[in-house]
Protein backbone atom coordinates (compact mmCIF):
# COMPACT_ATOMS: atom_id res chain seq x y z
CA UNK A 1 0.00 0.00 0.00
CA UNK A 2 2.80 2.41 0.88
CA UNK A 3 4.46 1.73 -2.49
CA UNK A 4 1.27 2.71 -4.31
CA UNK A 5 1.01 5.96 -2.35
CA UNK A 6 4.69 6.76 -2.99
CA UNK A 7 4.28 5.98 -6.68
CA UNK A 8 1.22 8.27 -6.99
CA UNK A 9 2.96 11.09 -5.10
CA UNK A 10 6.02 10.72 -7.36
CA UNK A 11 3.87 10.72 -10.47
CA UNK A 12 2.02 13.85 -9.28
CA UNK A 13 5.36 15.58 -8.64
CA UNK A 14 6.59 14.77 -12.15
CA UNK A 15 3.37 16.02 -13.74
CA UNK A 16 3.43 19.20 -11.65
CA UNK A 17 6.99 20.07 -12.69
CA UNK A 18 6.41 19.45 -16.40
CA UNK A 19 7.30 22.57 -18.37
CA UNK A 20 4.38 24.23 -20.14
CA UNK A 21 5.36 26.65 -22.90
CA UNK A 22 4.60 30.23 -21.93
CA UNK A 23 5.10 31.80 -25.35
CA UNK A 24 4.63 30.74 -28.91
CA UNK A 25 6.35 31.78 -32.10
CA UNK A 26 5.26 31.79 -35.72
CA UNK A 27 5.67 28.48 -37.52
CA UNK A 28 8.81 28.14 -39.58
CA UNK A 29 8.42 27.83 -43.35
CA UNK A 30 8.87 24.41 -44.89
CA UNK A 31 12.15 24.22 -46.74
CA UNK A 32 12.66 21.83 -49.61
CA UNK A 33 15.99 20.87 -51.05
CA UNK A 34 16.36 20.40 -54.79
CA UNK A 35 15.57 16.68 -54.64
CA UNK A 36 12.11 17.20 -53.10
CA UNK A 37 9.12 18.09 -55.25
CA UNK A 38 6.39 20.39 -54.01
CA UNK A 39 3.04 18.64 -54.48
CA UNK A 40 -0.01 20.88 -55.07
CA UNK A 41 -2.99 20.52 -52.80
CA UNK A 42 -6.43 19.28 -53.84
CA UNK A 43 -9.53 20.65 -52.12
CA UNK A 44 -13.11 21.74 -52.53
CA UNK A 45 -15.42 23.91 -50.42
CA UNK A 46 -18.61 25.91 -50.55
CA UNK A 47 -20.68 28.11 -48.26
CA UNK A 48 -23.92 30.07 -48.50
CA UNK A 49 -25.53 32.90 -46.52
CA UNK A 50 -29.22 33.70 -47.06
CA UNK A 51 -30.77 36.31 -44.77
CA UNK A 52 -34.45 36.75 -45.53
CA UNK A 53 -34.91 39.75 -43.24
CA UNK A 54 -32.27 41.92 -44.91
CA UNK A 55 -32.35 40.26 -48.33
CA UNK A 56 -28.62 39.55 -48.22
CA UNK A 57 -27.50 36.59 -50.31
CA UNK A 58 -23.88 35.46 -50.62
CA UNK A 59 -22.22 32.22 -51.66
CA UNK A 60 -18.83 30.96 -52.73
CA UNK A 61 -17.61 27.62 -54.04
CA UNK A 62 -14.17 26.60 -55.20
CA UNK A 63 -12.40 23.39 -56.17
CA UNK A 64 -8.77 22.67 -56.88
CA UNK A 65 -7.23 19.66 -58.55
CA UNK A 66 -3.48 19.83 -59.04
CA UNK A 67 -2.83 23.30 -60.50
CA UNK A 68 -6.35 23.81 -61.90
CA UNK A 69 -8.62 25.98 -59.78
CA UNK A 70 -12.21 26.90 -60.58
CA UNK A 71 -14.98 28.51 -58.63
CA UNK A 72 -17.69 31.11 -58.43
CA UNK A 73 -19.28 33.47 -55.96
CA UNK A 74 -22.39 35.63 -55.83
CA UNK A 75 -23.10 38.87 -54.01
CA UNK A 76 -26.44 40.62 -53.55
CA UNK A 77 -25.74 44.24 -54.52
CA UNK A 78 -27.40 47.21 -52.76
CA UNK A 79 -29.29 48.10 -55.96
CA UNK A 80 -31.07 44.72 -55.92
CA UNK A 81 -29.02 42.92 -58.60
CA UNK A 82 -27.18 39.69 -58.04
CA UNK A 83 -23.52 39.80 -59.14
CA UNK A 84 -22.07 36.43 -60.14
CA UNK A 85 -18.34 35.96 -60.69
CA UNK A 86 -17.16 32.71 -62.27
CA UNK A 87 -13.39 32.21 -62.40
CA UNK A 88 -10.64 29.73 -63.07
CA UNK A 89 -6.89 29.54 -62.74
CA UNK A 90 -5.15 27.09 -65.01
CA UNK A 91 -1.40 26.84 -64.45
CA UNK A 92 0.44 29.85 -65.81
CA UNK A 93 -2.57 31.37 -67.63
CA UNK A 94 -3.43 33.32 -64.49
CA UNK A 95 -6.74 34.33 -62.97
CA UNK A 96 -9.58 34.53 -65.53
CA UNK A 97 -12.96 35.84 -64.38
CA UNK A 98 -16.36 36.37 -65.98
CA UNK A 99 -18.70 38.80 -64.20
CA UNK A 100 -22.45 38.74 -64.87
CA UNK A 101 -25.43 40.47 -63.30
CA UNK A 102 -28.92 39.12 -62.74
CA UNK A 103 -31.94 41.32 -62.21
CA UNK A 104 -32.43 45.01 -62.79
CA UNK A 105 -31.00 47.84 -60.72
CA UNK A 106 -33.57 49.64 -58.57
CA UNK A 107 -32.89 53.04 -57.05
CA UNK A 108 -35.10 54.98 -54.69
CA UNK A 109 -36.72 58.11 -56.07
CA UNK A 110 -34.27 60.95 -55.91
CA UNK A 111 -35.22 63.78 -53.64
CA UNK A 112 -33.82 67.24 -53.53
CA UNK A 113 -31.16 67.49 -50.85
CA UNK A 114 -32.29 69.24 -47.70
CA UNK A 115 -29.64 70.01 -45.10
CA UNK A 116 -30.52 68.87 -41.59
CA UNK A 117 -32.25 71.42 -39.39
CA UNK A 118 -30.25 72.41 -36.36
CA UNK A 119 -31.09 74.65 -33.45
CA UNK A 120 -28.46 76.66 -31.67
CA UNK A 121 -28.94 78.14 -28.28
CA UNK A 122 -27.07 81.17 -26.97
CA UNK A 123 -24.79 80.64 -24.01
Per-residue pLDDT of the chain (123 residues; tens, 9 = 90+): 677 777 777 777 766 666 666 666 766 666 666 666 666 678 999 999 888 887 778 899 999 887 788 999 999 888 888 999 999 987 677 889 999 999 998 887 777 777 777 777 766
pTM listed for this prediction = 0.54
Does 86 fall in a domain? Answer: yes
Which pLDDT does position 85 carry in this prediction? 95
Calpha distance 32→42 (Å, rounded)? 20
Examine residue 14 and state whether it is found in any structural domain, yes or no: no
Is 13 within a domain? Answer: no
User: Does residue 78 belong to any structural domain of this protein?
Assistant: yes
103, part of any domain = yes
Which residues span the domain enclosing 57? 40-107
Q: Based on the structure, what is the number of domains in the chain?
A: 1
Query: For residue 72, is it within any domain?
Result: yes
Give the CA distances from residue 89 to residues 3, 59, 62, 86, in Å, rounded to whole numbers and listed in that order: 67, 19, 11, 11
Q: What is the pLDDT of residues 68-97, one digit of tens each?
A: 889 999 998 888 889 999 999 876 778 899
Amino acid sequence: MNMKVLFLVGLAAVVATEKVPTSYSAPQPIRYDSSEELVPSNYGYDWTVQDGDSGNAFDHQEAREEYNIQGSYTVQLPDGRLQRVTYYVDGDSGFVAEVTYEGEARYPESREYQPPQTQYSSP
